[in-house]
């Protein structure tokens, strides 16, 4: 690779653990709820993975939290080709990723500047909204430069992201060909109300690699039998943390309460302790023993790290069991299940072969990687 373009959406994913299901239009709310940036850490992980393979590749990026700081932390000496601070005064440049003082317009301007200098790949850190911004610049400029996402957003519906940050760094260093992939986005306000409105926003060139994730799909099988089987086996005195999704929602309905749309609910002994909970609210009500109930994302296979950041490593660590539920139809479309929690020890503990409940009495062995 002759040169890499690199840009971060520093606030991507901040709304996840505090239960906001995204950060678009909700940054102030996320800050008030104590949200912490996750994009910079994931950016550094991706670049460190790249640097192990391409230590001398020139990195072209934007100033400060938009890419420069993470690149330096990863051991590169980047070339800054865009600075959102008009006077270029570094003393006035924001250093807090949670308060970057920048917007999507800065992301687009940074990508334009990067492309003007010529790079072999635009590596970006964010979610679907950031992917739309990057792809939009490629489309507007007529550039054929490939793009690749480091997943940091709450929702990842586009098929332009690596599975993990480390995968992104490896793919950036090793890819040899590209293919056209879909860039999708959803209406976050509708998503917060429980309705998924996915829209194809662009087609973009993306490196070809096994660890570029698929776009999200929705399975169509009925989970009623599965829900009935699960409800028969609930234990008195056990706390249940129910993740988002229609399959888990069917279990909640079977237990006699209405699931929060695309949120996380906590239930024990017939009582909903918290509905549409944030990470902090979940931790406040957890008691031993605890079971986390999740269903994989269709087409991608993630059971943690996509759309359910409220079920954080701290929550997972306090649970004594994790129950994965999915219809056979959904599992038929998946080779493996995946985890991406931001905590490698937790991820490693979750990996391996597990039994996934598929019906009233049936389970299937599936590998978590």
Nearest of 238, 245, 249, 247 to residue 271 by alpha carbon: 238
For residue 42, pLDDT over 70 is answered with yes
DSSP 24-44: TT-HHHHHHTT----HHHHHH
For residue 23, pLDDT over 60 is answered with no
Tens digits of residue pLDDT in 178-189: 998 888 887 656
What is the structure's pLDDT at 165?
A: 95
pLDDT tier, 319 (very low <50, low <70, confident <90, very high otherwise): very high
- Give the pair of three-digit tokens for residue 22: 């995204």
For residue 207, pLDDT over 50 is answered with yes
Long-range CB contacts for residues 105-109, cutoff 8 Å, separation at least 24: 106/62, 106/66, 106/82, 107/7, 107/9, 107/66, 107/133, 107/134, 108/133, 108/134, 108/136, 108/137, 109/82, 109/84
For residue 100, pLDDT over 90 is answered with no
What is the structure's pLDDT at 90?
A: 56
Question: Over the chain, what is the mean pLDDT?
Answer: 87
What is the structure's pLDDT at 34?
A: 56
CB atoms within 10 A of CB 101: 14
pLDDT tier, 220 (very low <50, low <70, confident <90, very high otherwise): very low
Average pLDDT over residues 206-212: 91
What is the structure's pLDDT at 43?
A: 96
For residue 164, pLDDT over 60 is answered with yes
Say which residue, 224 or 170, is predicted with more confidence.
170
Helices (H) and strands (E) in the chain, counts: 13, 16
As a whole number of angstroms, the distance between CA 352 and CA 333 comes to: 19
Q: What is the DSSP letter of 115?
A: H
Average pLDDT over residues 221-246: 87
As a whole number of angstroms, the distance between CA 189 and CA 271 comes to: 28
Average pLDDT over residues 50-63: 97
As a whole number of angstroms, the distance between CA 359 and CA 224 comes to: 8
pLDDT tier, 314 (very low <50, low <70, confident <90, very high otherwise): very high
CB atoms within 10 A of CB 232: 10
Average pLDDT over residues 219-242: 83
For residue 9, pLDDT over 60 is answered with yes
Q: Beta 321-325 vs 302-304: how paired, if at all? A: unpaired
Least confident of 101-105, 127-131, 146-150, 305-309: 101-105
Residue with tokens 């940054």: 27
pLDDT tier, 218 (very low <50, low <70, confident <90, very high otherwise): very low
Proportion of the chain above pLDDT 70, given as a percent: 83
For residue 219, pLDDT over 50 is answered with no
For residue 44, pLDDT over 70 is answered with yes
As a whole number of angstroms, the distance between CA 195 and CA 190 comes to: 5
Tens digits of residue pLDDT in 269-288: 999 999 999 999 999 999 99
What is the structure's pLDDT at 211?
A: 87
Least confident of 95-104, 143-152, 235-244, 299-308: 95-104
For residue 13, pLDDT over 80 is answered with no
């Amino acid at each position: 690779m002759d040169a890499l373009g690199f840009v971060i959406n520093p606030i991507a994913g901040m709304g996840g653990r505090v239960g906001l299901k995204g950060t678009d239009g909700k940054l102030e709310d996320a800050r008030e709820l104590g949200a912490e940036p996750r994009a910079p850490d994931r950016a550094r992980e991706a670049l460190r993975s790249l640097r192990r393979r391409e230590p001398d590749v020139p990195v072209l990026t934007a100033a400060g939290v938009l890419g420069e700081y993470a690149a330096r932390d990863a051991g590169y000496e980047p070339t800054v080709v865009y600075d959102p601070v008009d006077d270029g005064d570094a003393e006035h440049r924001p250093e807090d990723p949670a308060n970057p003082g920048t917007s999507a317009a800065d992301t687009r301007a940074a990508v334009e500047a990067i492309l003007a200098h010529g790079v072999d790949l635009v590596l970006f850190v964010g979610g679907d909204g950031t992917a739309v911004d990057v792809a939009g610049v490629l489309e507007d400029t007529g550039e054929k430069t490939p793009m690749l996402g480091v997943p940091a957003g709450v929702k990842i519906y586009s098929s332009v992201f690596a599975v993990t940050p480390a995968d992104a760094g490896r793919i950036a260093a090793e890819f040899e060909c590209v293919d056209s992939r879909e860039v999708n986005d959803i209406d976050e306000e509708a998503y917060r109300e429980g309705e998924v409105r996915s829209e194809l926003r662009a087609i973009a060139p993306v490196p070809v690699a096994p660890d570029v994730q698929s776009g999200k799909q929705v399975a169509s099988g009925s989970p009623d039998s599965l829900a009935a089987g699960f409800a028969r086996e609930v234990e008195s005195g056990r706390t249940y943390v129910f993740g988002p999704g229609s399959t888990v929602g069917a279990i909640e309905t079977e237990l006699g309460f209405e699931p929060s749309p695309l949120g996380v609910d906590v239930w024990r002994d017939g009582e909903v302790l918290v509905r549409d909970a944030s990470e902090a609210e979940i931790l406040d009500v957890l008691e031993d023993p605890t079971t986390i109930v999740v269903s994989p994302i269709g087409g991608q296979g993630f059971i943690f790290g996509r759309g359910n950041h409220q079920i954080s490593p701290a929550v997972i660590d306090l649970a004594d069991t994790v129950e994965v539920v999915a219809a056979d139809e959904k599992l038929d479309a998946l080779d493996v299940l995946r985890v991406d929690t931001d905590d490698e020890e937790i991820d490693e503990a979750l990996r391996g072969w597990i039994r996934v409940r598929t019906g009233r009495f049936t389970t299937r062995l599936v590998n978590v990687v």
